[in-house]
Structures are given as C-alpha cells and as structure tokens.
Structure 1
Amino acid sequence: MRTILYLGAYLFCFYTGFSQSYQFKTLIDLETTEIISQGNTGTCWSFSTVSFLESEIIRLTGNHIDISEMYQVRHTYPAKAWNYIMRQGKAQFSEGGLAHDVMNSIAQHGLVPQAVYSGLESNKTNHNHAEMAAVLKGVLDVYVSNPGKRLSPKWEPVIENILDTYMGKPTDSFLYEGKHYTAKSFQKLTKIEPDQYVSITSFTHQPFYESFILNIPDNFSNGKFFNVPLDTLITIINEALENGFTLTLDCDVSETTFSAKHGIAVIPEVESTAAEAIISIRPEKHITQAYRQQAFTSYATTDDHLMHITGIVTDQNGTIYYKVKNSWGTDQTRVANNGYVYMSESFMRLKTISVMLHKDGLPKAIKKKLMP
C-alpha cells in the first residue's frame, strides 16, 4: 500500500509539474530593431531577413539603421517573373521567397534605408500586395500563353511598370544623414557582404556536410543549403546565439501548437493536449532525425514562414526555448510577448526548414567541414 501511495504521489507531482502556466527567464537576448508588420503580404522572407540584417549592422558597426524591406521585394519580383516566363509557366510565381533572395538582391542592387523607399502606395500606411500579385500573375500568364506565337520582349517593361505603379520606382541616389549615397555605397556603410552568409538545413535525402538545392516551392532561385545532422543544426543555432550572432529561420507554422496569440510554439508528446500545451507546460515529443525527415517528406512540415532568432529563454523547469522575432505586428489582441514567439527546442528540431547566419557564427570545427 505504501508503495502505491508513493507511486501515486510521484505521478501527481510529475503531471502537475507539466501543467504550470509558462514563466520565462531570459538567458540570451541579442539586440535587434523594433517589430514591423508585413501587412497583408507574403513577404515574411524579406521582413525577417532585413530584421536579421539590421541586427548584423548593429553587430558589425554599432549603428541602428531602419532598412527598407520593400526595396528587396521590388527588385526580387522581376527575377521571379523571369524564372516563371523562361520556364513557360511551369514554376511557382507567388509572393513568397527565402532569405537568400534578399542576399541575391543586395549583391545586385545594394541596400537603402526605409525612409528612402517604403514600397507603399500614396496615402497608404499598411502593405497589401493581394491585388498587385494577382495582376502580375495574370499578365505573366498572358505572355506564357503566347497569343502572338512568339514571346514578346514587352513583358519585362510591362512588369516593371506594374511594380512601379503599386510600389513606387526605386531610387539609386539619395541623402542619408546629410551625406549622398547610392544603394551600393550605402551597403558598404552597413558592412553587409552577401557572400559572407550561409544557409544551413538538415535532411537525410542528401549527404551531410555537402550543399544541395533544397526542393521547396519558394526556392525559385535554386539557392543552395549546407546539409548537417539535426544535432549539429541545433549546435550551430545555440553557439551562434551564445557568441552574439542572430539567425534567420525558415519554418512551418501551420501547427495548432504554434500560437502567436500566446507567444508559444511547442510539440506536445500527446497530440490531444495541443490546446492546453500553448497555455501551460506539457511533456514534449523527442524529435529524431528520422521523425523530422518523415514529417518533411509527407508534407507534415512545409516551408511557410520566415522569422528571426534573437535569443534563448527557459521556463521554470529549465527547458530551453528560442526567442523568435515575428513580423505580424505588436497588437496585443493578436500577439503576445510584444510580437515575439518562444519556440521550444522540440519545435525547432521538427519544424525548421533552414537557418541563415554569418559564416563567422559557425562553430570552427563545423565551418572547417562545410568550407574546408
């Protein structure tokens, strides 16, 4: 009887220990800029990567600069359109993209401050690309259908004119804090060098410690990713943060246990506890490499949102969560934690598609394996 009582007491303590409301303690909180809403657009890829770059500028120069997200979006759309046209419509054309698309745009077009290019129509304060994206796709499909029996070269200036109408014509010459810059000279001021950034992923259908083109819908530009084991991916994230480097994050947020409203993202061990798990601590699944791979190849994990990893917190049980900066605004009726999401390690292990960081943020031994 005494053994049964002890067992009952142990189980009671065990389960009640996992039903507490979340209380977080900050371990690492790297400097970043304020949260900005992406509005009604699918441009999280630019908002997250520009946020990441703003933190990089702080790290590299000590300067706080509000960089234009839409400058990179404006210059990326023509590249998407070219890909779609040249593949005769047998490719994705959408608002989506990836972190390396911003880097590709910077390499070609440079950087500008937000004050120089907002990408907003006159008298508008929020971004909404629904109509623009539909118009672009419709026009491209007309050219793809080839009514003139031969592709007209007019399609490129037509696309440029549509983009200028909705987003404004980008400038390459401007004043900033009393000095004259071009987009490329301003990029030099920020010390951002696109070729110094690497994308990392973890999947078993390609060899580890080699790079490959990740076949996901938004990878229209055929960007390459270094492939590492899952434990190594987590090590890279942890050590980067410990050494002052933030990271971009491409992940799946379609799970019911990703909740911006509660500021939490977890993978509960028991799926039926999902509703409770976003408001109080529940045991989480142990995520293996094989389980992660199966989720990806079955479409249970898909590429649908990019954010910015800026720190580490722990709950009252010592469990690690990553502080992730979102781009859905700071309206307290819609988001918690001032717009940040605390993402458990289990969620990170299962739902991460990739991360991007500066090469110097890689642990030395891993960097040597990836870039000997």
Structure 2
Amino acid sequence: MKKAILVLFVLFVFLQLAHGQKKDEKFKNIIQISANPVENQQKTGTCWSFATSSFLESEILRKGKGEYDLSEMFFVRQAYLQKAKKYLLYHGHANFGEGGQAHDVMNVIREFGIMPESEYTGKPINTEIHDHGKMEEELIRFIAKTNNGFNKKRAEEWEEQFNQILDTYLGKLPQEFGIKGQTYSPLGFTAFLAINPDDYLEFTSFTHHSFYERIDLEIPDNWSHDKYINVPIKELVEIIDSSLYRGYTVCWDGDTSEKSFNHRSGIATLDSGVADYPTARQNTFLSREMTDDHLMHITGIAEDENGEQFYRTKNSWGTDKSEYEGYLYMSVPYVKLKTIAILVHKNAVPQSIMNKIERP
C-alpha cells in the first residue's frame, strides 16, 4: 500500500513539473520590465485606475524611487467628484458611472496628488473586498435627483452630501500621512515620487479623424473630453514597441469582448489574416463590435514557440484561475485590431513620430 502511495506521489510531482515546464516553454520572455504584484479590482468597474496605478508604480521603480503601492481608490474617489461636477454642468447630459480612462488618474494627480495604499485602501472597517455595486446605485440616484431639482440651495449643499456618500463606502480621506519617517500631503508625495502628469501622452488610431492631431475620442468613458493623439495603427504599435525596448511600460485600453481573450489560459489572440487593419478597426468601431472594455498594463515582450511576438500584460483580476498568475499574453494581431488607446511616457515615443504631431 505504501509503495502504491509513493508511486502515485512521484507521478503527481512529475506531472506538476511537466505542466510547469510546458507552461514556461509556451512563451519566451524577451523583455520583462519591473512591476508591482498583480492586484484585484474585484467587484468594481475601476480597471482604469488599477491599470494606470500599476503603470505609475513601474514608472516609480524606473525612476529609482523604490517600490510603492499606490491607492487606486484615492484616484477613483477624486474622479467621482469631478464626474459629478461635469454631469451637473451639462445639466445631466454627460456620462456618470464607474468607468474611466488613464487620463483620469493623471488629471487627479495634477489637482489632488497621489496617496499610498497603506493610507487609503477604499475599504471601510469590516469591508474585506472592493464592491461598488451599492455605492454606484446610490451615487447615480443622488446626482440624478440633484440635477432634476437643481436650485441655489442644492448648488450650495450637494457637494458635501456627495462626499458623505463616498465617506460611507470608501472611507474618509486623510489630509496628511507618514511614509518612511516623512510626513506628506498627497501633492507633496507626488513631488517626492517625481511624477509629472505632463510627461505622459495618450495615443489612439481611427480614420474618421485626421492623423497627428489631438482629438476628442468618442467613447463614453472619455467623460472629461480629454484629447488623444491620433496616429496610424502601424505607428501606434511602433510606439508600444519603442516604449518597451527603451525600458518604459505601456498602459493599454481596448476591447476584451472576444472569446479568444481568455484570462484563465492567459492568452488573447486573433486571426492574423486581417488584410487592412485601419479599415477593419474603423468598421468595427463604428458598428460597436470594438468596444472600450478594459484597461491593462503591458510590461514586456515575449515570443511563442513559433517565434510570434506577444505582449506580456498585467491584468487586475487577481492571480486565481489564471495560467500566468494574473498576466496574459496578447498577440500583435489582437493589439492591432482591438486597441482603443495607449498611455506612454513622452520620451518613449520615436522622434520621427513626435515630429509629425500637431503642437497643442
């Protein structure tokens, strides 16, 4: 009996090693840029904050400042208030919800700064996970009611009441906090980390706008009407590659609705037989087949066993039930067809492309 158990144990270990070896051999990582551990956005629609926070954490590492875990919910909370103000300014004719874009984080940093996760988790006492369902419902009801009955009194009181809802679900914001023996405000912490939002550019690629101009991209989550630089898709991919080869990571926004986007297996692929990517992108964007679904963080380049290039991409859905512990590999055809936009450091963009861009 003992011998049989030993044989089964040895067989189990062999199979586990074989599986691990097979998994490792599927992709050969060519470039791996440092990133913080994978996180989990849980029951929220805040991928935009998780992806951009992860991107900034890698920027902080690149700058030699060390590893810092940034508070995603600080950005979420501050952005909610700005969305509410925009919604009321447009008399309710503006998007209000959980979704957002990478520039929302940059806009928060510009005005309010950065806060570490240790000082603001966005999880009040006795709350174990992020779950924004009830908060979202209450905020939508409140801002709609405020808009419909807007008057002088509401104009004076609504912001305080809005913040009280956020306090209940996310916790109150500290004005100052201590890190490694130093006291900072959020703006002071930003200065210490040497993060300047003006160092970062967003790019997109659609043919219904002129190339090399700064455009208001027509996606619902661009509620702030920020401008993206429109470039040919070939050059957008060139910017991604240039960034990674120069040691910069990329914040990626795109369509993840395809069945071939599989978090469990850690792969996102498409048929590489698309003859005309600009036309295919435009057609699927206008027909709403290509949608603005999800933001992630590209941290490297890999090759599969056939020598095909893939992008090593950090997701924000945790490490469970994921072949590559929260990472996945996106093929070049997938990125060419399904990318909505990217955010990169301006120094990572090839000069030949920068020379063509319309100056603001």
In the superposition, the TM-score normalised over structure 1's length comes to 0.87
Q: CA deviation at 1:125?
A: 2.2
User: Are positions 1:297 and 2:286 aligned together?
Assistant: yes
Q: 1:327 aligns with which of 316, 332, 335?
A: 316
Residue aligning to 2:335: 348
User: Are positions 1:104 and 2:93 aligned together?
Assistant: no
User: Are positions 1:369 and 2:356 aligned together?
Assistant: yes
Q: 1:237 aligns with which of 235, 240, 245?
A: 240
Residue aligning to 2:127: 124
The 2-side partners of 1:40 and 1:203 are apart by 32
Q: Deviations over 1:198-221 (max 9, x none)?
A: 000000011101111101000001
Residue aligning to 1:68: 71
Residue aligning to 2:52: 49
CA contact (8 A) 1:286 1:346 kept: no
Q: Deviations over 1:122-168 (max 9, x none)?
A: 12221000000100001111112217698543221111110011111
The 1-side partners of 2:145 and 2:70 are apart by 35
The one-letter amino acid paired with 1:340 is Y
Change (3 A) 1:152 1:162: same
CA contact (8 A) 2:260 2:270 kept: yes
User: Are positions 1:250 and 2:237 aligned together?
Assistant: no
The 1-side partners of 2:146 and 2:358 are apart by 42
The one-letter amino acid paired with 1:365 is S
Moved more, 207-216 or 359-368: 359-368
**Dislocated runs of 4+, deviation >3 Å:** 147-152, 284-287
Change (3 A) 1:104 1:249: same
Q: CA deviation at 1:62?
A: 4.1
CA contact (8 A) 1:287 1:346 kept: no
Q: CA deviation at 1:121?
A: 1.6
Residue aligning to 2:297: 308
The 2-side partners of 1:361 and 1:308 are apart by 15
User: Are positions 1:318 and 2:313 aligned together?
Assistant: no
The 2-side partners of 1:297 and 1:345 are apart by 22
User: Are positions 1:30 and 2:33 aligned together?
Assistant: yes
For structure 2, the 5+ residue unaligned runs are 1-21
The 2-side partners of 1:89 and 1:210 are apart by 29
The 2-side partners of 1:169 and 1:200 are apart by 35
The one-letter amino acid paired with 2:43 is N
CA contact (8 A) 1:31 1:55 kept: yes
In the superposition, the TM-score normalised over structure 2's length comes to 0.90
Secondary structure at the counterpart of residue 301 of structure 2: strand
The 1-side partners of 2:236 and 2:145 are apart by 43
CA contact (8 A) 2:65 2:193 kept: no
Residue aligning to 1:178: 181
For structure 1, the 5+ residue unaligned runs are 1-19, 270-283
Residue aligning to 1:274: none
Cα RMSD of the aligned pairs, angstroms, is 1.7
Percent of residue pairs identical: 42
The 2-side partners of 1:250 and 1:34 are apart by 20
Secondary structure at the counterpart of residue 154 of structure 1: helix
CA contact (8 A) 2:213 2:358 kept: no
The one-letter amino acid paired with 1:369 is K
Q: CA deviation at 1:351?
A: 0.6
The 2-side partners of 1:164 and 1:370 are apart by 42
